[in-house]
Structure 1
Amino acid sequence: MKKLDKESLENLLFSVNKPYQYAGNEMYSYNKDFESSDVTFAIAFPDKYEVGASNLGHRIIYETLNSIEGCMCDRAYAPDVDCKQQLERQGLFLYGVESKVFLSEFDILGFSLQYELAYPTVLAMLNMSGIPIRNTDREDSHPVILSGGPCTYNPEPLKEFIDGFLIGDGEDILKETVEVFKKAKKLGLKRAEILSELSKIDGMYIPAIHKGAKINKRIFDFSTDSVPRKYPVPFSTSIHDRAVVEIRRGCGRMCRFCQPGHVNLPIRERKAEEIISLTKALVKNTGYDEFSMLSLSSNDYTNIEPVLEELTCFFSDKKVSASLPSQRIDRFNIRLSNLVKDVRKTTITLAPEAGSQRMRDVINKNISREQIVNTTLDCYKNGYDSIKYYFILGLPTETFEDIDEMLELLGGIRYKAKLIKKELDLKQDLKLNCTLSIFVPKPFTPFQWVGQDSLEKITEKIAYIREKSKSLKGVRIKIHEKYISEIEAVLTRGDASLCDYIEALYKKGCYLDAWDENFDKKVWYDTAKECGLSIGGLAQKTFELEETLPWDFINVGIKKDWFVNEYKKAMQSAASVPCEMKCSNCGICSEYKVSKHLDKPYEPVIIEKTHKSLPIKKYRAKITKKGYLKFLSHLDWQNTLVKGLFRSELPVVFTEGFNPIPKISLGSALPIFIESESEFIDFELFGEHSTNEIVEKINSSLDKNARIINIYEITKNTPSLDITTQWARYEIEHLNKNLSNFQDLMYIKDKLTSEDEIFLKKKTKKGIDKLINIKQSVRDVETKDNKLYVTLKTGQNTDIPSIRADHLMNIFYPEKKFNIKRLCLFDENMQVL
């Protein structure tokens, strides 16, 4: 087994931004033993940690696999560009964040395919792992490469790289995959034999074996779902920094542009009691102060109001807020929005998708202009002065008249809002923030045959909107990048001929291109030309209705004739009745012998809370920050402590107002890469608590390297930590220890004690370099046991400049790395705090 040793890991983490992303050890990570496990499975997310770590599917897979006896599951993410360069520079391979074992050592490496522009990143991650990118080049020693996620509904553009695709819901397929590997390893099966066994799993597409065979998607039975009630909690804030609960899978709206709405059928709802129990457990275990009810159509969930009513009542005194994805206009009501804003006021997001009634009929949106206007104005009357809209530009049959209607709709809403403002004497004008995405035709939708608008036509429409919207005050319009949308259209409907193109993109350095700062359209377009491809021609291609499509061998359960019929109705601007209201005879229920499952009506359990007037006590705790916690920034450290406080379930005091936050304050900021035996946090609690109780509850809710070692009650008049703290004692040693390095420390000691002036270069607020004499900022310098000990000025309100320990070391050895630990803090009288 090959893995990253401790010294190599430290050298890597000291060389990158946001090193916590690559350190692992988050609360509730499993850290199972690699060598004693029957099957080792690494799940890889081809995007940054901050995106992947909060992805619900990623979390579900991680918990599902680690719950299987004998299976060890680790995680990996696409390292940011700086870390990727360091891995290459230091000759290191990509590794699992928990075990630090190289990904090439695992039995299975599974990628989550969420977005087409991540395809070159998948190949880069394989290469960073020392794994051949082409599946035909892999040997028995290499892991089997699997993938799942929404992009696998058309697996052809990646078929020459991925060994197996999981089609549909992955929970059951993963369990069956692990069982295949358990048996295969016992029997000593070769790679080809393992793939043959995997091909027998329903819902598994093995390109090397399934040549022309029909592949059924898998449908997971929600009622048997053992949902994770905890999962790894990132030390820092992530993209979706909240506890996410999936309340419903599948959507019956049948919007004709929407792939998830078709491939995730049938509708399956989780029981209200289970949602409530799950949400309470997740919030308690993770320490998040927000939970989200996730579904393609959350307010279509049968019991959305009673569930939210019960949960918001339960969490009201804990200041835990609720959030919902974009709202269905015809199911939206103010009571629902008021439940969501009970703790924190949020922005209302509505998705009309199209501005004219004709276009809403074309896409089968089934909402009227009147509903859009009335819903928006009702929100405004009830205190929401900012509304976010989602529209799609370039939908099939769209004309400039349709665009005019969209702009007129926005202008009409603003006009009526002005009248309401005057009538009700409201303080704020209504602001409309509109996001326009560009239509991308997707497989398994009635628009799968339709070509995308040309770049020239889209450019003309964008210019038209920009010009016409200038007169719309209070309306802000943001339009997605047109080149990215055109490339998406190519990849999402592509066939196996795109494999060479994707490999060429990877070889040209395309990596993390879903991020604007990394996307280079010239590379994508020039590379296509070199590969004999026309991006515009492929994106605009219109398929014949009788034509065999690259993804036709995947069976999602909906009859192709049904898609054809819906396409024809769209061309006639004719709407269809949603599956929610009446069976549309799409075929999925008969094909898979399943049916729509809706929850029974639920009566919320509301416990009236008595608001006692409890005393408020303020405490100051001394706490350690050791080990891998040194890779957290000050803000990440604060985030970790706040989540720990929430997990302790101590009654924390919050600020008042629309966005309450816990009343806590930390001592002087500790720079990243520095450990500490002496961090401080002030916080307030309701009621009487013994210090032993507080210490026990908080310590059990924090990482093992963060421990309260002293706590005492203070008054509200006690000087703040920033004022009290004046000096800090540090222990310093070289990251890589040897005798010559100790001589470096001796040299620093001699300089600090013998020189009359020691200058540090600092930048002023205006960005001008300034030399500061820090001689008075240094005291009590000594060397002992191959370490340097020094006391440095910190804190505020003094004529002596403060200095950081890492800045001090940079004066003498800017290219070298040091292990630095803060041992203690002193007040102005040099009394230890």
Structure 2
Amino acid sequence: MDEILPAVSKPSRYIGMEWNAIKKDPANAKVKVALAFPDTYEIGMSHLGLKILYQILNRRPEFMAERAYAPWVDAERLLRQQRVPLCTIESGYSLADFDLIGFTLQYELSYTTLLNMLDLAGIPLQSEQRREGDPFVIAGGPVAFNPEPIADFIDLFLLGDAEEAIIEICEAVMQWKATGGPREELLEAWAKIEGCYVPALHQGETIRKRTAIHLDGIDYGAFLVPFMEIVHDRVSIEVMRGCTQGCRFCQAGYIYRPLRERSAEEIMQMTLQARRGTGYEEVSLGSLSIADLTDLPHLIHPLMEDLLPEKISLSLPSLRVEALNRFPQVAEEIGRVRKTGFTIAPEAGSQRLRKVINKEGFDEEQIFMAVRNAAKSGWESVKFYFMIGLPTETQTDLDEMIRITRESARIARAESARGFGLTVSTSSFVPKPHTPFQWYAQEPMDILKEKQDFLKRKLREAKVSYKWHHVQSSFLEAVFSLGDRSLGRAILRGYELGCRLDGWTEHLRFDLWMQAFDETGIDPKAIANRPRNLDEPLPWDHIDIGVNKSFLQREYKKALEVRGTADCHTAPCTACGEICQPNWPTWAEKVGMKVSGPEFRVSSSTCVVPGAEPEIQNSKLKTLYEAPVQRIRFIFQKIGVLRYLSHLELMKALGRAVRRARIAVAYSQGYNPQPKLACAMALPVGVEGWQELADIELSAAIAPEELVARVNRSLAPELHLLRAWEVPLASPSLTPLVRELNYRVSLPLDSSSQEIRVKLSSQALCNEWLDRPSIPVRVRRKDRLVDVDVRPQILALVALREEGSAFCWDLRLSTGHGSSVRPHVIMAHLLKDTLDGQCDEWEAKLRVARVALILDGEQ
């Protein structure tokens, strides 16, 4: 990776070594599983399910689970140029060396990225082409509930909850390997496991999804903690699984039934685990609809009391408007640490259309009240989320969306004392399998684009920020959501033409997709833009999610009649199928599961007493500030592969380690408190730091040597503290004190470079460089190239003897000369003057370490 990491953007995507990462000896593993996410690291590391499976599998000593993510385009190019296979993060083993490659499918536009990852590992793309010794490719996730479009590429689909089934799948692999049978024997064994669909063996039988009731005590403190900032950079606590709101467009609300929830006591315990084991600054209560959590009113205040001393913020990402209005103190409570923004999802602009989609609880007065409460509580912004192109939508519905937005903006600006931002985000409706709207057509792209243009114009007039999803992406999502197995040839052709990372707008090649459909004889509009008859066969009819198709048909008809269906969480059972109450015990008995257990409570209308929730205590609604009582200065190292951390990633890693070590760090005041932790000078990405300086201020005193010991127990060996001492609280900050930076620069050379060695070993050459009145270097500043004279920065350059196969220099640079230039760049320009080649060529070969920072008054 030393040849690749210096040349890619965001190298921390590929370095691994995260806190809580597990690296096992493959020689001792009977089953090796690569947990693969068909998107970049920052997307995949935000997925809770992958973290859960990683822990469950590695808990078994005979199983080894490692992770792989899709490389960005620059890394892919280098991997192909240098013929390096795609490897796992933990050990660097090729995906081809694993028994199983398990893909998590969260969205349809990841299909070609999945194929690209297989190709980068040298694994045949189509399952029928794989032979003895090739890994088995398995897949799960919500997208797998219509498995047919990619059935040609997947050996096994796991439908539903994976916590128990993944162990059974791996145990079958272990038994199969012990007998030495052909690949077909393992496929046959898998086909007998509840929830497993083997496309190659399917004979028309119904495949029932797998539902887990026991989660086997997941330790949220053992979750992986990334170095780089990821999309959801926080620890997510799964407090509920499933949803009974019955929004007719929402696939998750149907495929994840029944509703299972945790108690307040369990959530408090899991949160304690998470904050002590990960050091995250934010905790999120994960669910499809957090307002349905029975114990929510009992939970928020004590949870915030627990989080507040460590300045850990709480996020409720799926909070509904009516819950926010019912308990206005919730906004104040979760804003006691940080106030950022709320998201409100009315989905549709008018009350009529909200009733069509079964989201009628969002009347406009509730929306206005929620905005008012957020603004009064000091929040900075509110984001409205709508869908366009919903069944029966008219221009009147769009006009209502504009009217509600205008009025909300007026209310927010009038109520907020600090300024308030309102953003509207829209996506285009995509019909999804296993929902009441699976029979409805997606509106044509030109109509959706006209609606977006209308909203852009009107919201600009209202001075409201507007964001939208590209209609081409939504169209392809609908095609892949609703298609059958014939789509496999178009997906393969799209990949061959160059499609990958399709979920990233800048990489979506819609023209190539249209070419792929044309070449394979598939009409995508006939899939996405065609309404379906209620009695016609659907490509996913052989998948049983536990919700009856007849119930979905009734819901479709009620939508067209503008009639709602009550939430069975607080109302009588809606008879959606065998999977929910009151038939849950019968259904569970059929699949051999126990209903009782401490991990999850199966929700039913009998366990909720409407109107009985207690009021949240409105006490201590303030953020406590504790003045620092001690400042400690410490020296630390950042070496090895962790030299590729950016300064922000380094600071986050140190801050989380301090929190894991339970050090009482002091925080800044204001709406977004930060730990009082500062390094002397930012290290450039790729530069080692041998003796870096930093200060930390504490709200409770501690012996410096104890701080070093405790923090080092929460850090990787490549990032650790060397020593520490106390300095006065009134001491000036470190950065202005630094007057000189000392670097060790090395250039690896092979045995054929004797002529270069002779040239570089001369101190006279270094002196000749330094005798120049100016050394102009061209660098990029704010997207433009500028010339900088680096001669005033250079204090000394000394040629050293060779160390191993590398030639080394000591480079001393002064600070305080305006625009500084990285030592890589300076040395690359000096080498260019003496040796053949371009600057970027030499820059990529150099290895740089900062060996010391010299402060004012030091020798």
d(CA) in 2 for partners of 1:610, 1:243 = 21
Letter in 2 for 1:783: L
Would the alpha carbon gap of residues 764 and 531 (structure 1) be closer, same or farther in structure 2, given more than 3 Å must change?
Answer: closer
Would the alpha carbon gap of residues 612 and 296 (structure 1) be closer, same or farther in structure 2, given more than 3 Å must change?
Answer: closer
2:541 is aligned with 1:552: yes
Give 1:565 deviation, angstroms.
0.7
2:396 is aligned with 1:401: yes
d(CA) in 1 for partners of 2:762, 2:262 = 64
Give 1:681 deviation, angstroms.
1.1
Q: Match of 1:6? A: none
Q: Which runs of 4+ in 1 moved over 6 A?
A: 598-614, 799-802
Which deviates the most, 718-727 or 261-270? 718-727
Q: Match of 1:818? A: 846
2:173 is aligned with 1:181: yes
Give 1:271 deviation, angstroms.
2.2
Letter in 1 for 2:680: G
Residue from 6, 21, 27 that aligns with 1:14: 6
Letter in 1 for 2:647: H
Give 1:708 deviation, angstroms.
1.4
Contact kept? 2:798, 2:811, Cα under 8 Å? no
Give 1:55 deviation, angstroms.
1.2
Give 1:626 deviation, angstroms.
1.2
Would the alpha carbon gap of residues 615 and 235 (structure 1) be closer, same or farther in structure 2, given more than 3 Å must change?
Answer: closer
Would the alpha carbon gap of residues 798 and 346 (structure 1) be closer, same or farther in structure 2, given more than 3 Å must change?
Answer: closer
* 1:658-677 correspondence runs (5 A): 658-677=671-690
2:591 is aligned with 1:585: no
Paired residue secondary structure (1:500): helix
Give 1:707 deviation, angstroms.
2.0
Paired residue secondary structure (1:100): coil
Residue from 659, 663, 670 that aligns with 1:657: 670
Contact kept? 2:18, 2:226, Cα under 8 Å? yes
Q: Match of 1:751? A: 765
d(CA) in 1 for partners of 2:818, 2:243 = 65
Residue from 25, 39, 45 that aligns with 1:53: 45
d(CA) in 2 for partners of 1:577, 1:170 = 30
2:463 is aligned with 1:457: no
Give 1:718 deviation, angstroms.
3.0
Give 1:791 deviation, angstroms.
4.1
Letter in 2 for 1:83: A
Q: Match of 1:511? A: 500
2:624 is aligned with 1:619: no
2:699 is aligned with 1:690: no
d(CA) in 2 for partners of 1:166, 1:583 = 28
2:346 is aligned with 1:352: yes
Q: Is there any run of 5+ residues in structure 1 with no aligned partner, and where?
A: 1-8
Which deviates the most, 800-809 or 396-405? 800-809
Which deviates the most, 197-206 or 663-672? 663-672
2:675 is aligned with 1:633: no
Contact kept? 2:746, 2:808, Cα under 8 Å? no
Would the alpha carbon gap of residues 789 and 725 (structure 1) be closer, same or farther in structure 2, given more than 3 Å must change?
Answer: farther
Contact kept? 2:793, 2:817, Cα under 8 Å? no
Would the alpha carbon gap of residues 745 and 352 (structure 1) be closer, same or farther in structure 2, given more than 3 Å must change?
Answer: farther
Give 1:709 deviation, angstroms.
1.3
Letter in 1 for 2:440: V
d(CA) in 1 for partners of 2:720, 2:412 = 54
Contact kept? 1:793, 1:800, Cα under 8 Å? no
Paired residue secondary structure (1:676): strand
2:317 is aligned with 1:300: no
d(CA) in 2 for partners of 1:182, 1:605 = 54
* 1:50-89 correspondence runs (5 A): 50-89=42-81
Q: Match of 1:205? A: 197
Would the alpha carbon gap of residues 739 and 640 (structure 1) be closer, same or farther in structure 2, given more than 3 Å must change?
Answer: farther
Letter in 2 for 1:668: M
Q: Match of 1:337? A: 331
* 1:296-445 correspondence runs (5 A): 296-332=288-324, 333-367=327-361, 368-384=363-379, 386-415=381-410, 421=414, 427=417, 431-445=421-435
Letter in 1 for 2:322: D
Residue from 705, 711, 714 that aligns with 1:701: 714
Q: Match of 2:241? A: 249
Q: Deviations over 1:354-392 (max 9, x none)?
A: 111111111111312332233333333433463211111
Paired residue secondary structure (2:787): strand
d(CA) in 2 for partners of 1:520, 1:810 = 39
Would the alpha carbon gap of residues 800 and 357 (structure 1) be closer, same or farther in structure 2, given more than 3 Å must change?
Answer: closer
Would the alpha carbon gap of residues 11 and 255 (structure 1) be closer, same or farther in structure 2, given more than 3 Å must change?
Answer: same
Give 1:668 deviation, angstroms.
1.9
2:23 is aligned with 1:31: yes
Letter in 2 for 1:447: F
d(CA) in 2 for partners of 1:748, 1:81 = 41
d(CA) in 2 for partners of 1:27, 1:264 = 31
Paired residue secondary structure (1:10): coil
Give 1:573 deviation, angstroms.
0.5
Q: Match of 2:592? A: none
State the TM-score, normalized to the length of structure 2: 0.90
Which deviates the most, 399-408 or 622-631? 399-408
d(CA) in 1 for partners of 2:705, 2:472 = 60
d(CA) in 2 for partners of 1:744, 1:684 = 50
d(CA) in 1 for partners of 2:206, 2:478 = 24
Q: Match of 2:515? A: 526
Residue from 791, 804, 808 that aligns with 1:774: 791
2:728 is aligned with 1:728: no
Q: Deviations over 1:705-752 (max 9, x none)?
A: 122112111224434332332333333333465472771773474421
Give 1:130 deviation, angstroms.
0.4
* 1:149-298 correspondence runs (5 A): 149-222=141-214, 224-298=216-290
d(CA) in 2 for partners of 1:506, 1:56 = 28
* Equivalenced residues, count: 817
Paired residue secondary structure (1:726): strand
d(CA) in 2 for partners of 1:363, 1:506 = 35
Give 1:676 deviation, angstroms.
2.1
Give 1:246 deviation, angstroms.
0.6
d(CA) in 2 for partners of 1:782, 1:830 = 24
Which deviates the most, 756-765 or 644-653? 756-765
Give 1:179 deviation, angstroms.
0.7
Contact kept? 2:220, 2:273, Cα under 8 Å? no
* 1:468-483 correspondence runs (5 A): 468-471=458-461, 473-483=462-472
Paired residue secondary structure (2:26): coil
Q: Match of 2:835? A: none
Which deviates the most, 611-620 or 403-412? 611-620
Q: What is the aligned-residue identity percentage?
A: 34
Give 1:618 deviation, angstroms.
1.0
Give 1:416 deviation, angstroms.
5.3
Contact kept? 1:430, 1:474, Cα under 8 Å? no
Residue from 806, 827, 832 that aligns with 1:808: 827
d(CA) in 1 for partners of 2:374, 2:820 = 53
Would the alpha carbon gap of residues 529 and 633 (structure 1) be closer, same or farther in structure 2, given more than 3 Å must change?
Answer: same
Give 1:805 deviation, angstroms.
4.6
2:603 is aligned with 1:597: yes
Which deviates the most, 356-365 or 78-87? 356-365
